[in-house]
Amino acid sequence: MTDKKTPATDRAPTPAPNGIVDELQHLVILPLCLAVVFGISAFFLKDFWQSMMVAGVGAALAPPIQVAAHFLRFYGLAVRRYVPLIGFCILTGMTAYFGYSLWQLTRPVPYPRPDGTIIDFKSGPGGPALTVLGTQCSLLSDSANNLKSTVSYNRIDEPQRGVGFLRIFYNLQSTSASEPYAGIYCPFSIYKPLQFDVSIFSGVHVKVRWGRDRSQPSPDVSIVLYSRSPEGATYLFPTYMIPAQRINESWNDIRATFEEFVSPPHADVPVRFDANSAYQIGFVLEGLPHSTALGQLDIADVNFFK
């Protein structure tokens, strides 16, 4: 069962894409736009007042109806005069804004945790299962391939270690030649897909173990790092398959360098992990065709290491 979205008070918020550029946006771009608006307004009022003087419509002498009529006539002339300038300013501003937004989404952001922590499950008893960046893990299954595998997870406290862990409940089912799979994936940003620069790190570490109740044979377990993919590599991401002998019913430390993340077996084009554009990590369990695999997998202490 997936935890409800609950704010985590000890979690770091999703970082701003670029602190310097955001400061420029608030200190330069916004005042500049306001200056343009006030400048155009000042020119309009100045020209309007001068036109009143030329037309002999003194604000203190003319009836309000005469001033209003002159204003409407002048407004019609001003629209033809200022609309091209205003349109140019609006078009330029929109182009700059959307260009900046696109650049913001495609540029890498330094990973906000220097210690490399991704998930530590230290939210306390009853706390949510969130990454240290405040994001929630989502579920992945083979339903798109018309298979019926299911997956869910719970955060569980482990008093012996003083922290919690994530227990993944899987039920892999295949009645055909297709391999069943299910798992979870955890994004690094909340509101929009930011790409993070993790090049200061060398690889990924995670603790894993099997739950006590599981069917045989056990499924393969892979760690997936999501980064910018080459053209034509849709839904293909570099994968590290954990050796079967490294997972048992005791906690085992798994360390995989970025170079060990390679193209998955079904890939028709090669993919490699791009440490300058990481945006997500996943854990996938894969069973055998014409078989069923049922059990639990525990994971803890997920982090990048240097």
List, for residues 239-289, the tens digit of each pLDDT value.
Answer: 999 999 999 999 999 999 999 999 988 778 889 999 999 999 999 999 999
CATH architecture group of domain 117-305? Sandwich (2.60)
Please tell me the distance from the alpha carbon of residue 176 to that of residue 178, in angstroms, as a whole number: 5
Q: Output the pLDDT for position 164.
A: 86
Q: Output the pLDDT for position 202.
A: 97
The residue extents of the domains of the chain are 19-106, 117-305
Report phi then psi at 210, rounded to 5. -85, 150
N residues, the chain: 306
Please tell me the distance from the alpha carbon of residue 130 to that of residue 118, in angstroms, as a whole number: 9
Please give the structure tokens belonging to residue 189: 């940003």
Block mean pLDDT (10 aa), the chain, length 306: 32 36 49 64 62 54 62 64 68 72 72 92 76 89 88 86 87 90 91 85 97 87 90 80 95 97 86 92 94 94 96
Q: Output the pLDDT for position 91.
A: 74
Please tell me the distance from the alpha carbon of residue 119 to that of residue 113, in angstroms, as a whole number: 11
Q: Output the pLDDT for position 298.
A: 96
Helices (H) and strands (E) in the chain, counts: 3, 13
Report phi then psi at 301, rounded to 5. 50, 60
Q: Output the pLDDT for position 49.
A: 62
Distances, alpha carbon 211 to alpha carbons 106, 139, 232, 298, in Å: 40, 19, 38, 7
Name residues whose C-beta falls within 8 Å of residue 38's C-beta, 6 or more positions apart in sequence. Answer: none
